[in-house]
């Protein structure tokens, strides 16, 4: 087991994306197995009234991370510095532990309402890395970039893994690891998911996502966050912990959201896999000290 994980993760344990449909259940009794929660800042900036008060209560109760939807880090339009200043204010106001967004683009003259792949080229590496550094300067902290799922690779000159690693190195940012996206891409683009995972820089992992997807065909999977996590994706998370050590991991569920008691069963699965490796680590320390 080659543990090279970042020992200063912004959060710890198993997390869950905050969804308004669960507000009442969370208010009744906050689940002890949730160690942190994630929000999209675009959905919460300037929200007031009862909903805003409910959010502030949760943010005061449990660590929060923010995962953006519209940074457009790879797009041709200039960075929206006004928006980024509002993000900074949101992060500061709620003591948000980590800010991340997608290694993609989503805006040109208007919002495209999708996360589209950046061409895997050397020029794109420099362009994106520079925009990440600009973003980090504006928000006053290092951010994390998530590996996305994609269904075409226009203008590709580099392998996906080489592109991601080059961006992370040049921008000197964190990695927001999406385990399901690796699995989905490995099916759609015919590569070995475990080999791809192990080639990532584990020391840069801030935290991870795990989610379900849609089975279109044996050779086509669609990233939806609208289904239960399947066994091969759980196994890939297990491999990730075995390779890099345990890192904080969050369950994403954006569509067909079940009641909280059902969705917590998958949060429990994250915690069980983490505990397996935490126990192994504790046993190794005890043996070394004996």
pLDDT score recorded for residue 106:
78
- Say if CB 177 and CB 205 are below 8 A apart: yes
pLDDT score recorded for residue 31:
95
- Say if CB 135 and CB 98 are below 8 A apart: no
- Domain edges within the chain: 14-289
Please identify which residue in the block is written with the tokens 């959010």. 55
Residue 58: both structure tokens together: 């949760």
pLDDT score recorded for residue 154:
84
pLDDT score recorded for residue 287:
45
Domain 14-289: which CATH number of 3.40.50.11540, 3.20.20.150, 3.40.50.11610, 3.30.110.60: 3.20.20.150
* Number of C-beta neighbours around residue 171 at 10 A: 23
Please identify which residue in the block is written with the tokens 């502030």. 56
Q: Of 244, 239, 181, whose CA–CA distance to 213 is shortest? A: 181
Q: Of 112, 108, 93, 77, whose CA–CA distance to 41 is shortest? A: 93
* Number of C-beta neighbours around residue 172 at 10 A: 12
| Tens of pLDDT, residue by residue, the chain (290 residues) | 444 445 589 999 999 999 999 998 898 789 999 999 999 999 999 999 999 999 999 999 999 999 999 899 999 989 999 999 999 999 999 999 999 999 998 756 544 556 788 999 999 999 999 999 999 999 999 999 999 999 988 889 999 999 999 999 999 999 999 999 999 999 999 999 999 999 999 999 999 999 999 888 888 988 998 899 999 999 999 999 999 999 999 999 998 999 999 999 999 999 999 999 987 654 444 444 44
């Amino acid at each position: 087991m080659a543990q090279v994980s970042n020992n200063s993760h912004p959060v710890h344990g198993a997390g869950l994306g905050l969804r308004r449909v669960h507000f009442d259940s969370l208010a009744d009794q906050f689940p002890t197995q949730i160690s942190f929660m994630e929000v999209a800042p675009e959905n919460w900036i300037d929200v007031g009234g009862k909903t805003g008060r409910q959010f502030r209560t949760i943010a005061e109760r449990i660590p929060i991370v923010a995962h953006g939807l519209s940074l457009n880090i790879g797009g041709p339009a200039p960075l929206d510095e006004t928006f980024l200043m509002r993000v900074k204010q949101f992060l500061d106001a709620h003591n948000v532990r980590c800010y991340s967004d997608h290694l993609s683009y989503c805006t040109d003259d208007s919002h495209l309402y999708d996360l589209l792949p950046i061409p895997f080229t050397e020029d794109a590496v420099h362009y994106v890395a520079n925009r990440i550094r600009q973003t980090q300067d504006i928000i006053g902290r290092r951010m994390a970039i998530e590996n996305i799922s994609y269904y075409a690779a226009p203008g590709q000159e580099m392998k996906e893994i080489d592109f991601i690693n080059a961006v992370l190195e040049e921008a000197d940012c964190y990695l927001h690891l999406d385990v399901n996206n690796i699995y989905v891409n490995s099916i759609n683009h015919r590569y070995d998911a475990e080999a791809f995972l192990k080639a990532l820089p584990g020391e840069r992992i801030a935290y991870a996502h795990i989610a379900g997807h849609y089975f279109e065909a044996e050779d086509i999977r669609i990233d939806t966050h609208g289904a239960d996590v399947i066994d091969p994706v759980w196994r890939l998370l297990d491999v990730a912990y075995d390779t890099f050590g345990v890192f904080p991991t969050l369950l994403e569920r954006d569509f067909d959201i079940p009641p909280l008691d059902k969705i917590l069963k998958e949060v429990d699965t994250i915690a069980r896999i983490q505990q397996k490796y935490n126990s192994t680590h504790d046993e190794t320390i005890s043996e070394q000290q004996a």
